[in-house]
Amino acid sequence: MDSRLISVDRWAQGSQVYFLTHLHADHTKGLSSTWARGPLFCSRLTAKLFPFKFPDLDLSLLRILDIGRWHSLSLVSHSGSETTFQVMAIDADHCPGSVMLLFRGEFGCMLYTGDFRWEATSERAKKGRDMLLSALKDDVVDTLYLDNTYCNPSYDFPSRQLAAQQVIDIIVSNPEHDIIIGIDTLGKEDLLLQISSVLKIKIWVWPERLQTMHLLGFRDNFTTNSTLTRVRAVPRYSFSIDTLEGLNTSHPTIGIMPSGLPWVRRPVEQNGDIFGSFLRNRYKRGKCSAQGEIQTLERIHQYMYSVPYSDHSNFAEIEDFVKLVQPTNLKGIVSSSSCYVEPIYYFGRLCGANQSTSQLRNRHKRKGSDEMVGTVCPDASYGDNNFVGSERKRGKTLKVKFSGVRLSRLSILRRKNHRGAKIVENNSDDQNS
């Protein structure tokens, strides 16, 4: 089979079928309302949300993938031969509509997690686990494309349920304060719902976000009337410490930033350690305190709190997932993340083929392997499929090796000290709900 006939979260020309794991902007980069390169497969909920983000997109291109069901699709290779493959969507528990994608075909068996959270404590994750295991049966996952956003042992944040409780605690212990919570256009709904139901209050959201909430079926917990509540969820980018200081001149207000990432500025400590001085500083305290009870809640400013509420898996969860899947090969899909190290560095010993880091430089060898590699193409800005290895050297130097054409990308990013993800479009027309 020709390579690149299937694209996942990648919208360049040349594929016959396209898959979207979820509707976050960094996964739809290259997708626009005029896009029409082929059928676009996604979950039912993602399809429902689609018109909101891409009002003019031709909806007849959308194909629904039912969660937990194998779908059979066929492709015609450039040489003219037809081939079929199967795909199953499994709940990724990252944001509404998000799925992992399991592929099975002559190229082998591949699992693409998209962004995912694998919370051992959540009912949803257990369901996903059962679904995944029964789908895999005795199949071996040849390649696992893994959300390695927080693939570093330093990332040790708690469950979202617990982090949400921390937010509630802040709200309760500041009864006279207005509360502002930074969120994005999709995601963190469960946090807001938990606050709303535990405290029995509505939460203010901006008008477009209310429409999204209604689409998701949440009717009663949200409002656009700010006189009804002291808790407001606002676009994350729209407020800063400066904004908060301004607000506090008229009314006591506390800001809460839910994120798996620390929000504090880096205390300078050069030691060349692989985990980096920054992470070490943030988490050292928590890790050394009472057994497993991590206190990562931080008051980073007089009016600002950072809460470790993350829609990505922490390191332990990623590790659990890799242990469960036991893939032959493993690739990170987030190359510009805090994880400078390919996940195989940490998990090589857990993989079926018992790989070592040195194997990063070799393409996986099996029947038809040359065709398999590159068949599923993660978005280049994230998941460099051509990324074959990385190593950290002493000090701050990072050496990255690429195979193939995209040699310059990361090195350019590094030179400019700048990240690659760019927004193409965000149309949120005020229509329907």
Query: Of 24 and 160, which CB lies nearer to DNA in the complex structure?
Result: 24
Q: Confirm or reject binding of residue 43 to DNA (CB under 7 A).
A: no
> Which of the residues 199 through 238 are near DNA (CB under 7 A)?
235-237
**First and final C-alpha spacing in the chain:** 43
Touching DNA, residues 142-161 (CB under 7 A): 149
- Cβ-based nearer residue to DNA, 149 or 329: 149
Q: Does 361 bind DNA (CB under 7 A)?
A: no
Is residue 154 classed exposed, middle or buried when 0-12, 13-18 and 19+ CB atoms within 10 A define those classes? buried
Per CB under 7 A, 371 contacts DNA: no
Backbone angles phi, psi at 295, to 5 degrees: -100, 90
Specify the residue, 83 or 240, whose C-beta has the smaller distance to DNA. 240
- What character string, x for contact with DNA (CB under 7 A) and - otherwise, covers 403-422? -------------xxxxxxx
Q: Is 254 left (phi over 0), alpha (psi -120 to 50) or beta?
A: beta
Residue 254 interacting with DNA (CB under 7 A): no
Residue 182 contacts residue 258 (beta carbons within 8 Å): yes
Q: Measured from the CB of residue 353, what is the shortest distance to DNA in angstroms?
A: 27
Q: Does residue 270 bind DNA (CB under 7 A)?
A: no
Is 383 a binder of DNA (CB under 7 A)?
Answer: no
Nearer to DNA, 370 or 429 (CB): 429
The binder of DNA chosen from 45, 146, 163, 279 (CB under 7 A): 279
Q: Minimal distance in Å, beta carbon 33 to DNA? A: 6
The piece of 173-181, 254-262, 341-349, 359-367 that touches DNA (CB under 7 A) is: 254-262
- Total residues at the site for DNA (CB under 7 A)? 46
Quick check: 32 binds DNA (CB under 7 A)?
A: yes
Tell me the HSE value of 429 on the side-chain side, using a 13 A CA sphere: 12
Candidate residues 186, 254, 350, 400; the one interacting with DNA per rule CB under 7 A: 186
Q: How far is the CB of 414 from DNA (least distance, A)?
A: 8
Type and span of the H or E element at 83? strand 82-91
Nearest to DNA of 260, 343 (CB atom): 260
Tell me whether residue 79 or residue 417 sits nearer to DNA (CB atom).
417
Strand order in the sheet with 82-91: 71-76, 82-91, 99-105, 108-112, 143-146, 329-332
For DNA, the binding residues in 165-184 under the rule CB under 7 A are 184
Residue 36 touching DNA (CB under 7 A): no
Tell me how far CA of residue 248 lies from CA of 38, 182, 302, 382, in angstroms: 51, 17, 10, 39
Report how far apart, in Å, the C-alpha atoms of 131 and of each of 18, 64, 245, 350 are: 23, 18, 48, 21
Positions 5 through 24 that interact with DNA (CB under 7 A): 24
Ranges of beta strands (E only) in 2-81 are: 6-8, 17-19, 40-43, 62-65, 71-76
Residue carrying structure tokens 């479009």: 425
Encoded amino acid at 217, one letter: G
Cβ 82 to DNA shortest distance, Å: 30
User: Which one of residues 7, 21, 194, 336 is an interface residue with DNA (CB under 7 A)?
Assistant: 336
User: Which residues 284-313 are close enough to bind DNA by CB under 7 A?
Assistant: 312
Q: 246 in helix, strand or coil?
A: helix
- Please tell me whether residue 115 adopts helix, strand or coil conformation: coil
Q: Could you give the CA distance from residue 315 to residue 302 in angstroms, rounded to a whole number? A: 30
Distance between CA atoms of 384 and 392, rounded to whole angstroms?
18
Span near DNA by CB under 7 A; candidates 155-163, 335-343, 384-392, 400-408:
335-343
Identify the three-state secondary structure at position 124. Answer: helix
- Among the candidate windows 164-172, 190-198, 261-269, 301-309, which touches DNA by CB under 7 A? 261-269
Q: What ranges make up the beta strands (E) of 263-366? A: 298-301, 304-307, 329-332
Task: Identify which of residues 85 and 346 has a Cβ nearer to DNA in the complex.
Answer: 346
Q: In this complex, which beta carbon is closest to DNA, that of residue 142 or of residue 317?
A: 317
**Structure-token pair, residue 75:** 């492709």
Residues that bind DNA (CB under 7 A): 24-26, 30, 32-35, 115, 149, 184-187, 235-237, 239-240, 242, 259-263, 265-266, 276, 278-279, 312, 334, 336-338, 416-426
